[in-house]
Amino acid sequence: DRFELILFAGAPSGPARQTVIGQAFSRSFMPRRIAVVGCGVSGTTAAFHARKTDRTAEITLIGDESLPEYSRCGLPYAFSGIVPSLEALIGHDEAFYEQTNRINLLLGWKCIRIDTHAQRIELARTADGREEARDYDSLILTTGARAGTLTVPGSDLKGVFTIRTMGDIDGLANYLEESKARKVAIIGAGLTGSEMAEALLHRGISVLEAEIVPEILPVILDSDMASIVRQRAEERGVEYHLQSSLEEILGRDGRVAAVRISGRKFDVDAVVLAVRIWPNTELASKAGITLGEYGGIRTNERMETSARNIYAAGDCIETYDRITRRYVFFQLATTAVRQALVAGVNAAGGDATYPGSTGVTTVKLFDLEVSSFGPTTVLAEKLGLHPVSVRVTGSTRLPYYPGGKDLTVKLLASPDDGRLLGAQIVGEEGATLRASFASMAGHLGLTVGEFAEIETCYSPPLAPVWDPVTIAAQALLRRLKGPIKAKARPVTVEGR
């Protein structure tokens, strides 16, 4: 009685009072309904962390593929045979979702509509089109992205592929084996195109790779750094055509037979389109959810969208870049899982924030580690940052100790305040961890002077007294106009 009076002072008496009390208790004890749309790494991460936050919630994870979450980043390695099978890329079996974590896994279902006012989603089964509706208390959109295509003559021929799903890789492998392919054209020399070039060579297939800009890997490396990777790839057999565009895919009997690139014809047996990745935002857009400048879903630091009780994470959103202080696409697994953790916690009633990303990236190509964070010089100039840069080559060991490897480091800094803007590191070993180290400095907003003063490990078998990254920072400090060692101020997240 006391509990009732405290909660419902002023409520009507008699049957009406009992109804009010019953409805309140019903709401109090009804499990929270959380729906996650998208069963990739961000969707799975969000669902798991929602479960950790709310042990009683009803969590439904919806994916339009027939498989649970698997590593898209691992697809080239399964294709090459370095990873023994495609199935090895699957993170968890269905029992782990449904029995261990009590997550209702709906595979082969596509979300086709969101009613943000009624808090309801409509689903369609991909196999037969059957539809059903589900109500939610919290909704997390992790709809990911899709591979871009090119609308050139012949793009509908058999033997033209994009690389995004396990089905794409399976289809490409089967086609190459069936057609006894000897040469493949890859259009685009970014991360995906470069990884696939190496994977094809590993399978004994010749590679022609075309890129519309003057150098490969243009999103993560300046030309002088990318050329190191390109020269190694050329030594391994990749045939590059830079500043070149695909004009036509030529066929024979409905299959790819050749490509025309910048006016020249090349005989090939298949084409892999590895151009830009587009965020899947149509569902959000139709629901009236705000999109950002580049067409991705806009979120705040709690991963909340403009719609009440709807969160988003992963490749479908625009991420706050802590270095350039703008919203961009960082379509990276590391970024996605951190955003998804925050979305899952908050959708389940917790309180977490995501501080933004430096875009730190690493890849292994032709036995080189290629790592970077921050904007390239070209992008920084476009943004008006006008960076000062330096490039040095050092060794991962002291000269007298055997086994040392060359490591080329390029650092970028702001000429105004000396803030570290980026790092690009290429070498046979040690680039990845050093990029993470430099990224931490960028994340904290350190100046080059502060970065140069950080003490690093030393042991003859493991690391030199002066690390190549430290040597680069010292050289960059000298190149700046006067030694800028002002205390780094906390990064201000504008408009958040």
Determine the distance from the C-alpha atom of residue 11 to the mean position of all C-alpha atoms in its chain, rounded to a whole number. 52
Burial of residue 170 (number of CB atoms within 10 Å: 0-12, 13-18, 19+): middle
Which residues, at least 6 apart from 256, have a Cβ–Cβ distance to it below 8 Å?
154, 157, 158, 159, 160, 249, 250, 268, 269, 270, 271
User: Rg of the chain over CA atoms, in angstroms?
Assistant: 26
> CB of 143 within 8 A of CB of 316?
yes
Helix residue ranges, H only, 249-294: 282-286
- d(CA 470, CA 129) in angstroms, rounded, equals 59
- d(CA 457, CA 469) in angstroms, rounded, equals 12
Q: Per the structure block, which two tokens stand in for 140? A: 């997390």
Is 111 among the catalytic positions?
no
C-alpha distances in Å from residue 178, one per residue of 74, 161, 244: 23, 15, 30
Q: Which amino acid is at 177?
A: E
- d(CA 210, CA 347) in angstroms, rounded, equals 44
Q: Which of 73, 111, 316, 457 is catalytic?
A: 73
- d(CA 77, CA 75) in angstroms, rounded, equals 5
Half-sphere exposure for 49 (CA within 13 Å, toward CB): 22
Among all residues, which ones are annotated catalytic?
Answer: 73
